[in-house]
Structure 1
């Protein structure tokens, strides 16, 4: 694909922890700039995972085109390399057409994969299937011992209980012949002229918003949505089945299909989501390009537009 002209609009990026208000801000900026939204939430890639991911409904999108939503079945494994390729293609097509891409999401590695010149090793379905079969048969301990033999540094950085990560490490080593980089990537060379906005809130306030969000998801039918997705293979999806909320509902249904413990689902989902929020905050705070905004501010949209105006004339 040819590079967009030098007068092409910049890439606008809205990031931050879960439940801070990123989706609403991204939508408002896309409306103001005549742009389109590019999703950067790994779980919103999945069709049917709507309630549990707080995906904006078609009506709530107010006519703004959203890309990289509903592109995977729940049985498929999300791949940051595939996402990078598809999302970048959208960004570059929009810029070439003179429309502003607004990248919105809280999946840090997915965001960085678009923004920076990072390379991700591919995958081999047959090799992956063989390793996963071995994982199911022998457990993660046996595979971790093999990883320790071929790449001791990676083995120190990957938990012996993290079977999915161990499988990926062994796959990458086999495909590339190089050690597996288990640590988080540092800042890469920027690919785009991008303006990064971060949305966050006071910790106590955000903890309360997470609890209210989980309550709303349960009220809006998270259990029924999960049941429907299980009929479409959710339990077999190695990525989708681990999504916050869905995982807790699946476990409750496994224990009692007729009367799942919804109080327990709520408690564990709130706790897990709050932990996830702290990891997201830690990830994004490493990136000094991000201009942070208070999601609770009454003038949030105006503040974001003012930052964009300053950055675009600088």
Structure 2
């Protein structure tokens, strides 16, 4: 009974690792999972897709240290996925892990997905007629025109949504139209669904981050990103409403179409990834609940474990 009482007074924590792409989140997630007896839950919107390995920096199976990973390789590239669906999948995985005493260690680059999983966030309804009209307009004039409209109506939302992500631009405009309020006002509240939640941020100097992004992107192309995309095109990548928007994959498709040289695609991907890192930080920099730790701190793991254990 004493053991049961101890368990009841100390629920298994939910641990989320956040920070910009290429900052070192993956390595910390493995170290923490080992230290805490945990398993990793992916929160990257693109790593759920089978075959999207090189361009998403998906950790190969042989490098996962035998630690189970959840929400990796669960969809075909032709299948769309919404934030609401991902929220449900991730919360179910977290509940299953905690039920058997394993610590969920969330890691991934999709800030909205992480917030939707951790925080109180009920998704606004949809209006099929409004959605159909906006999607028809998207097909006619392109995402840049609709994004410019979004920037006028809701600059905060526009800052967080890529110009090229027509699906999310349409969703934001739909919510604004049917609710009469900014889409950004409907974003997750900064209140955890479960108070036994901790966020650890991996901090890194901007200039160093830019260097690491450039190195990572060039390595991706050297490792066969264009060839990976060529294989995925036969599976529906080009027409996918979700997977086809991934940074690097768009550029690789342009290489295959003769619209970009390989070097132009690399430079374009580096620029897009750096912009993506800035958008990621727009989500996190003002969240006082995050404990930021230096990426190169020799005591990084020990400090991260201390933060988690202090929650208990």
Q: Does 1:19 align with 2:22?
A: yes
> Secondary structure in 1 aligned to 2:50?
coil
Instruction: Note if contact 1:81-1:121 (Cα within 8 Å) is conserved in structure 2.
Output: no
1:249 paired to 2:252? yes
Moved more, 165-174 or 186-195: 165-174
* Worse-matched range after superposition: 22-31 or 278-287: 278-287
**Helix, strand or coil at the partner of 1:8:** coil
Matches within 5 A, 1:1-314: 5-121=8-124, 128=131, 131-137=134-140, 153=153, 163-169=166-172, 171-172=174-175, 177-179=178-180, 181-183=182-184, 185=187, 187-192=189-194, 193-255=196-258, 261-312=261-312
SS at match of 2:21: coil
Contact 1:37–1:102 (8 Å) recurs in 2: yes
2:73 alignment partner, SS class: coil
TM-score, normalised via structure 2 length: 0.85
Q: TM-score, normalised by structure 1?
A: 0.84
Where in structure 1 are there 5+ consecutive unaligned residues?
A: none
Supply the distance in 2 between the matched residues of 1:105 and 1:267 (Cα, whole angstroms): 23
Q: How far off its partner does 1:154 sit?
A: 5.4
Question: What is the rounded CA distance, in whole Å, between the counterparts of 1:137 and 1:154 in structure 2?
Answer: 22
Q: Are the counterparts in 2 of residues 10 and 101 from structure 1 also a CA contact under 8 Å?
A: yes
Cα distance in 2 for partners of 1:25, 1:100 equals 14
The alpha-carbon deviation at position 108 of structure 1 amounts to 1.0
Q: For the residues of structure 2 that align with 1:215 and 1:141, how far apart are their CA atoms?
A: 27
State the 1:124 CA deviation.
7.4
The offset of 1:82, in angstroms, is: 0.5
Contact in 1 for aligned 2:238/2:244 (Cα 8 Å) = yes
After superposition, the C-alpha distances for 1:148-195 in whole angstroms (9 at most, x for unaligned) are 9xxx94599659x77434532454468xx4235322626333111111
The number of aligned residues is: 299
* SS of match in other structure, 1:280: helix
Q: Distance in 2 between matches of 1:262 and 1:140?
A: 25
Tell me the SS of whatever aligns to 1:85: helix
